[in-house]
A = this chain, B = another copy of it.
Amino acid sequence: MTRIVFEKPDAVALVAEVFRELGYEGASMSSITARTKLSKGSLYHFFPGGKEQMAAEIMAHIDAWFVTEMFRPLEEGDPRAAIARMWETTDTYFRSGRRVCLIGAFALDETRDRFSSAIQNYFQRWIEALAGALTRAGLAAAEARMLAEEVVVGIQGALTLARALGDDAIFGRTLARLKERLGAAIEESVPPARII
């Protein structure tokens, strides 16, 4: 028999796609083995805690990726550059609306109760990181916070509607609209010194 060998990071990524497509409850062990080609033996070798551990590690992996690629730049880097990068990262990560947000999907059913703190942390950090960047770009804290919330809400909503309507274009339009709105808000708030 032909034996296929996997490394754990690959296993995490492969299983993640199955959860993304089928949801936590919808992803049965047999569907995971069928779609990833990982046998049950391999899966339980990498994830002795079973489905729950798989989901937990996947979420941690996604979170870590967003932290380095998006959150930390927003928190620490040049705000305008980091925001520009955020639009690209978002569009690329979600494959222009064709890929659902696993963490957002987990939030909707009772799967949320299993992973509530991971889910909460992810969205909270996204909103706060973006709000921080907007504040450093010159916006008032309250306005920055509201706009950051609007952006993350818009991204999640657009992902839902892109799937619901079977039309990715809505994701691109939403991203463009949000980008413009943020750009306009930053423009308006340029410090007086530069206007005079």
The residues of A with any CB-CB pair to B shorter than 8 Å are 21-26, 100, 103-105, 107-112, 116, 119-120, 122-124, 146, 149-150, 152-158, 160-161, 163-166, 170, 173-174, 177
Q: A152-B161, A153-B174 are in contact. List 16 more A-B contacts (CB 8 A).
A: A22-B110, A23-B25, A25-B26, A26-B110, A100-B108, A104-B164, A107-B161, A107-B163, A107-B164, A112-B164, A119-B164, A123-B164, A149-B161, A150-B174, A152-B157, A160-B160
Check if A110 sits within 8 Å of B153, measured CB to CB.
Answer: no
Main secondary structure of the interface of A (DSSP, over half): helix
A43 → chain B closest CB, angstroms: 19
Contact among B100, B153, B170 for A161, CB-based, below 8 A? B153
Copies in the complex: 2
Can you offer 23 A-B residue contacts whose CB atoms are under 8 A? A23-B23, A23-B25, A23-B109, A23-B111, A25-B26, A26-B109, A100-B109, A104-B160, A107-B163, A107-B164, A108-B163, A112-B164, A120-B164, A120-B165, A122-B164, A149-B174, A152-B157, A153-B154, A153-B160, A153-B161, A154-B157, A155-B157, A157-B160
Contacts of A156 in B (CB 8 A): 156-157, 160-161
Which of B103, B111, B170 makes the CB contact (< 8 A) with A153? B170
Residues of B within 8 A of A152 (CB): 157, 161
Q: Given A149-B173, A153-B154, A174-B153 in contact, is the A103-B164 Cβ separation under 8 Å?
A: yes
A79 to B78 alpha-carbon distance, docked (Å): 45
Minimum Cβ distance to chain B for residue A166 (Å): 6
Chain B, Cβ-Cβ closest to A23: B109
Could you say which residues of chain B place their CB within 8 Å of the CB of A163?
107-108, 112
Closest B-chain residue to A167, C-beta based?
B120
A100 CB → nearest B CB, Å: 5
